């Protein structure tokens, strides 16, 4: 049964989007603009003489970090499609906050700020809704959010939760989380950002033994064809994401007003700093750390790659056999992507989720990929 165009658009927006009200949006997309946010100020001199993350017995540890990019061309005010997509960037920190002192301590969430490239960003109360097709967003939606509150911690008490910042770009080395005048960081977290960059630059065709693009009538290809009607992602790194970000925007610009397509881009990366981990043998990707905490538990997969000396063993398909692996000082990177474009009942929908485990020398030791491709 053919659905009305606006019904299809609304369904897609509801099921895949994040609520964005309150985060200032930019209409100019290419070239990439400088966003203007109401919650930013200029950076002042920071006192770096205090121990990172410690204040009067208060210890703040970064459990994981996520960087998000969202874009679509649906105008909520006019309830119509537009030639000028709105885009948003978010940074999310999952924190462990512990009182190591002998007295109760108040933790002020509003004292957390993110500094980046000469600007300061305050926490936002934007709700990052669950998205079942994008695993990084689903994880963020399930995390406990701590916002606009004072947490009173008893001696020895630990509170875990996430804070979100509406920023003006994807992550880079300038990102610095602050609690008041104290930088919240660690050597392992700083190194994890380098690992994240390595995971984004990696050519996964080497490991998965499959090119990045699945093109209509051409099948798998190392080079995208911007003129092709349907192009799906087999896997995603930063260059694949940038291709869709540009190509889908240009496709909208070329379309006549009466045939303007909906376009949705979601790109989310998450990094968990160095941990000693065990990959449990079996037919699913199950990863635990040396405290027994479950870090990954994924049964759905289109294939995995395992590093064997200087090459990779690729296991395509869903019948995978993962050996037991113990990886010290490992960093986990997770990547989720959505690229949707089209109109009415003719839409290309491409989703991709990946889990990547790297060792302390930036070698990719194991990776799982799970693309979903269809046309509505």
Least confident of 2-6, 51-55, 87-91, 110-114: 2-6
Q: Does residue 233 surpass a pLDDT of 50?
A: yes
Q: Helical H runs in the chain?
A: 5-16, 135-142, 187-201, 205-208, 238-254
CB 199 within 8 A of CB 356: yes
d(CA 95, CA 186): 13
* Cα gap 211→174, rounded to integer Å: 33
Give residue-wise pLDDT tens across range 147-168.
878 889 999 999 999 999 999 9
Residue with tokens 């209509």: 216
CA distances to 76, 143, 159, 185, 350 from 106, rounded to whole Å, are 39, 22, 12, 20, 45
How confident is the model over 285-307, as pLDDT tens digits? 999 999 999 999 999 999 999 99
Q: Which residues pair with 42 in a beta bridge?
A: 119
Find the mean pLDDT for residues 163-189. Answer: 93
**pLDDT-derived band of residue 276, with 50, 70 and 90 as boundaries?**
very high
User: Cα–Cα distance between 75 and 127 in angstroms, integer?
Assistant: 19
pLDDT confidence tier of residue 217, bands split at 50, 70 and 90: confident
Among 124, 101, 111, smallest CA distance to 183 is for: 111
pTM score: 0.86
Is the CB of residue 25 less than 8 Å from the CB of residue 75? Answer: no
Q: Are 83 and 213 in contact (CB under 8 A)?
A: no
My answer on whether omega of the bond before 31 falls inside 30° of 0, hence cis, is yes
> In b/e form, how buried is each residue of 351-373, taking b as 16+ CB within 10 angstroms?
bbbbbbbbbeeeebbbbbbbbee
Are 104 and 155 within 8 A, CB to CB?
yes
């Amino acid at each position: 049964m053919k659905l009305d165009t606006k019904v299809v658009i609304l369904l897609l927006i509801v099921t895949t989007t994040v609520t964005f009200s309150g985060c200032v949006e930019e209409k100019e997309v290419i070239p990439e603009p400088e966003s203007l946010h109401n919650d930013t100020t200029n950076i002042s001199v920071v006192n770096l003489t205090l121990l990172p993350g410690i204040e009067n017995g208060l210890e703040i540890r970064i459990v994981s970090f996520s960087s998000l990019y969202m874009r679509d061309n649906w105008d909520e005010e006019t309830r119509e499609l537009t030639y000028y997509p709105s885009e948003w960037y978010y940074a999310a920190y999952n924190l462990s906050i512990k009182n190591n002192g002998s007295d109760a301590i108040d933790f002020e969430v509003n004292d957390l700020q993110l500094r980046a490239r000469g600007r300061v960003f305050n926490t936002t109360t934007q709700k990052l809704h669950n998205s079942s097709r994008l695993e990084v967003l689903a994880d963020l939606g399930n995390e406990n959010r701590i916002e606009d509150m004072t947490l009173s911690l008893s001696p020895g008490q630990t509170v875990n939760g996430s804070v979100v910042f509406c920023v003006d770009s994807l992550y880079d080395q300038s990102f610095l989380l602050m609690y008041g005048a104290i930088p919240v960081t660690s050597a392992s977290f700083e190194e994890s950002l380098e690992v994240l960059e390595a995971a984004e630059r990696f050519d996964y065709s080497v490991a998965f033994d499959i090119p990045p693009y699945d093109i209509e009538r051409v099948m798998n290809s190392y080079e995208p064809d911007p003129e092709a009607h349907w192009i799906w992602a087999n896997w995603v790194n930063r260059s694949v994401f940038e291709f869709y970000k540009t190509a889908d925007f240009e496709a909208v610009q070329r379309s006549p007003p009466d045939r303007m397509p909906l376009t949705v881009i979601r790109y989310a990366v998450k990094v968990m700093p160095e941990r000693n981990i065990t990959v449990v043998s079996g037919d699913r990707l199950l990863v635990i750390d040396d405290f027994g905490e479950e870090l990954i538990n994924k049964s759905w997969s289109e294939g995995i790659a395992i590093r064997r000396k200087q090459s990779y063993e690729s296991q395509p398909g869903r019948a995978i056999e993962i050996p037991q692996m113990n990886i010290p000082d490992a960093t986990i990177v997770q990547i989720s992507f959505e690229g949707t474009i089209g109109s009415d009942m003719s839409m290309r929908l491409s989703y991709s989720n990946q889990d990547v485990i790297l060792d302390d020398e930036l070698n990719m030791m194991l990776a799982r990929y799970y693309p979903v491709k269809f046309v509505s």
